[in-house]
A and B are shown apart, each in its own frame.
Chain A
Amino acid sequence: MSRTFEYIAIALGVVAIVVTSYGLGKLSYSWMPLEASTDAREIDHLFSFLVTMGSVIFLVVMGMLIYSLIFNRAAPGDYTEGHAFRHNWKLEVVWLVVPTLLVLWIGIYSFNIYVRMDVAGPKELLASASQPKDLEVAATNTNQALVTIGVVAKQWAWDFHYPDGKIDRELHLPVDRRVRLMLQSEDVLHGFYVPEFRIKQDIIPTRDIAFQFIPNRVGKYKLHDSQLSGTYFALMEADVYVETQEDYQQWLARESDNAARNLAALEYTNPHERVFDSHYPTVVPARSEEITASNDAIAKN
């Protein structure tokens, strides 16, 4: 194989890798769920960037390994030296510096995304915020007349406390409005996670954690507990409705239907047949009718 031919082959390989990586980056948007919050788009951009960068590294190294597997096999019984290179300081400095720059790039890019994420990050905003930055966020919130909803997580149900005193097991949100959730837990760690919103926050007993985002797509989604919370963890979900301002107001005005399904309590009272039953004891689920009467997180606002 002549040297020129080898260079051409390498150049073609590089082009193929760049094009493929770019394509995978574009394609990666389709691997994600629907985008239903302003943060979702940002996260998806970041993911696409990571997929593109990752693909370049992956394909270059895999290309070299597979090339070697095909073309550099030893003849049977040939145990002589493969090549004489033991080290090459220039090359080693390159593969120290280039990855350093790459990961710094990833870090800075991620940081920018984090800052841009509309809620100033899905960060924990302790109810007693004193940092200037938090105050700034608080000021923006006031301007936008944000919607505050209390969220109480307990084994294994979600209660939502709306501003006018309505309590329900469904989460209804007006579209394109900044929402502030006051997250509380009655027992163990839980986590607030709606994949279409792309953001997640643990809920810690005895702490009030504020969590903000802007849902921007009308539709029905599912909230799932994201931090292991015991026996009926898998059933700890709630329906999330993002709706127009009018629909939201109409729903708020309606009488609450507290008979909303509580899957854990249902399964606890009517256990179904399984192939194997260990009879291990479990914490008893919160009953359907037991909805926490008051939420002091709302009172604090």
Chain B
Amino acid sequence: MPNNLVHGVTLPESESKHTLAESEKNWRRYFTFNTDHKVIGVQYLVTAFTFFLIGGLLAMIVRAELITPASDLVDRPFYNSLFTIHGTVMIFLWIIPSIAGLSNYVVPLAIGAKDMAFPKLNAIGFWLVPVGGIVLISSFFLPGGAAQAGWWNYPPLSLQNPSGNIINGELFWILSIVILGISSIMTAVNFVTTIVWLRAPGMTYFRLPILVWATLTAQLMQLIYLPALTGVALMLLADLTLGANFFRPTAQGDPVLYQHLFWFYSHPTVYVWVLPIFGIFSEIIPAFTRNPLFGYRSVALATISFVPITGFVWAHHMFASGTPEWLRILFMFSTELVAIPTGIKVFAWTATIWKSKLHLETPMLFAMGGVMMFLFAGITGVMLGAMPFDLHVNNTYFIVGHFHYIVYNTITMALFGGIYYWFPKISGRMYLEGLGKLHFWLTFIGANLCFFPMFPLGLQGMVRRISSYDPQYVDWNILASLGSFLLGVSILPFIANIAFSWLQGKKATKNPWLATGLEWTTSSPPPKENFEEIPVVDFPPYDYGRDKYSHPHLANR
């Protein structure tokens, strides 16, 4: 560059703006204690996805064992560790942190905030996740092995500790749950504060996107219900390590009390996961049907209604436990009532899709596939609520099939849909549509192939968590195992797509989907504090149909 300064002084070229932007794009920041919610969001997503791969690998070993009736691949204690850690990883290290990550990235943008309310707390909350995860996974290398009592960890089995060591897998399991619980409580405080206090001018509650409603509801539920789990984990720790007797039946303890406390959190937590997922559906479906979300207000109210409702259904996990009759009947009715606010949402999405203008890009494929499979999951859930039927299928593969239709076929599908949907915003690049569609079809086929066979198996009486089984069950098990391997393969195009697109993808405009929502009004990726100027909101949510969203050049102006 020629020296164009009068006194012959050379300055590095355009030092101010350009180089600053470059340093913001530096990949190293993802490995630091960064307080930007966008960085933390990506940190959460990548960490959670890594654990998802580990959890998936464990599941595939389980399915490989079950492809034959005999126990011939791994020894039985190890098998029990496999499904115990698989469940724990998928719940506490994949679903919860990946949702925390996506919400972390999107929610402040969607409400027009510069960042989360407590950025440092946010970063601490994130960094506890890899710590908890490493504690959990490392327990495989203890001489006594990882925890083996299932992810519910019911005493007295969980207190047996056959190794006799004070350092054992069970202890690591409890520590990991406590660490991850503390992380989640920090995150919950942060989200609730952010959504209540940091909304942009004009962003009233009934102008919030459903994703934000769902995040608010889910995080309120974490605040109310999660302490029960952390408490019960500490009580179990006292029993295991300090010789307390909260749950040891031989010393006046009550193992059923553990079940009550455990499910008091662990049923509501299902809604902590699935409500933000419903939120993701409620963002994607309007954008790809070009319709406002049908019945927005009733969907918002149905969402918040979960805060009290889910507090009264936990004992349906205990219909076959030592529970009295009145409790069975009461909880049967309260459980069936959950179907009502859930139904409202499914009908709202269906009405939004009905006679609309469907665009079937990858995020929409995942959303439609997820809604369809959620419909099946919901209906089988209502069946399970019918207590006399539950007495037959409780603790069989019918339950395993049902909740995998929730956790994989609904939640994980929607997470993929959400990642594709916001990928242009996060990375500033477009993903490859062809690979995205390949990923969808492999996942959709694999998920049904893997989890549908579990329903007939459960009806026929195959008990869950068994490492060998009667040969009469072999056919459906082979199908399920093949499905699980297909699911393993289905991840590959996703990884290839994200890795390639992030580096080489086509540059994304600020609003590639012509979507409403404040996150699409700022550049892709957004600048450090999200908006050049804090937006003022004077329009309803999902305002599709306005000229502004009908033409690519207007939407991206």
Q: Which residues of A contact B (CB under 8 A)?
A: 31-33, 42-43, 46-47, 50-51, 54, 57-58, 61-62, 64-65, 68-69, 72-75, 78-88, 91-92, 95-96, 99-100, 103-104, 106-107, 109-111, 113-114, 117, 121-124, 187-189, 191, 193, 195-196, 198-202, 204-207, 209, 222, 224-235, 271-272, 274-283
Q: How many Å from the CB of A118 to the closest CB on chain B? A: 12
Q: Which of B37-45, B178-186, B460-468 contacts A (4 or more CB under 8 A)?
A: B460-468
- Chain B, range 322-339, C-beta contacts under 8 Å to A: 322-325, 328-329, 332-333, 336-337, 339
Bound form: Cα–Cα A123–B389 in Å = 14
B75, A82: Cβ atoms closer than 8 Å: no
Taking a contact as CB atoms under 8 Å apart, the answer to whether B343 and A227 are in contact is no
Which residue on B lies nearest to A98, using beta carbons? B343
| Residues of chain A with a CB closer than 8 A to B357's CB | 72-75, 78, 80-82
B75 engages A280 (CB within 8 Å): yes
State the Cβ distance, B390 to closest chain A Cβ, in Å. Answer: 9
A-B CB proximity, top 6 nearest: A195-B461, A82-B356, A81-B545, A280-B145, A74-B357, A234-B466
Report the bound CA distance from A187 to B155 in whole Å: 10
Q: Cβ of A91: which chain B residues have Cβ within 8 Å of it?
A: 295, 351
Q: Take A85-B351, A198-B392 as given contacts and tell me if A204 and B256 are in contact as well, using a CB distance cutoff of 8 Å.
A: yes
Q: Are B75 and A80 in contact (CB under 8 A)?
A: no
* Cross-chain contact of B461 among A107, A193, A228 (Cβ < 8 A): A193
The answer to whether A122 and B372 touch (CB under 8 A), given A204-B249, A226-B463, A283-B162, is no
Structural contact, B343 and A204, CB atoms closer than 8 A: no
The chain B residue with its CB closest to the CB of A77 is B552
Q: Which of B149, B296, B514 contacts A86 (CB 8 A)?
A: B296
Chain A residues with CB under 8 A of B355: 68, 72, 82-83
Please judge, given known A-B contacts A79-B552, A228-B154, A234-B71, whether A189 and B255 are in contact too, CB under 8 Å: yes
Cβ contacts under 8 Å, A106 to chain B: 336, 382, 385-386
- Chain A: minimal CB distance from B150 (Å): 5
A54 CA to B394 CA in the complex, in Å?
19
Contact partner, A32, options B144, B291, B294, B459, Cβ 8 Å: B459
B468 touches A234 (CB 8 A): yes
Query: A117 touching B144 by the CB < 8 A rule?
Result: no
Among candidates B78, B325, B353, B385, residue contacting A278 with C-beta atoms closer than 8 Å: B78
B329's contact among A114, A191, A227, A233, by CB below 8 Å, is which? A114
- Nearest CB on B from A181, distance (A): 14
Contact with A along B507-519 (1 / 0, CB 8 A): 0000000100000
Interfacial chain B residues near A99, Cβ < 8 Å: 339-340, 343-344
CA distance A50 to B357 in the complex (A): 34
**Contact call A201/B320, Cβ cutoff below 8 A:** yes
A79, B75: Cβ atoms closer than 8 Å: no
In chain B, positions 415-432 with a C-beta closer than 8 Å to chain A are none
Q: 29 A-B residue contacts at CB 8 Å? A: A33-B461, A47-B459, A54-B380, A62-B375, A72-B354, A72-B357, A73-B360, A79-B549, A82-B544, A103-B337, A104-B336, A109-B386, A110-B386, A111-B332, A124-B325, A187-B160, A188-B160, A191-B320, A193-B463, A195-B392, A200-B394, A224-B463, A228-B149, A230-B149, A234-B469, A280-B144, A280-B148, A282-B76, A282-B162
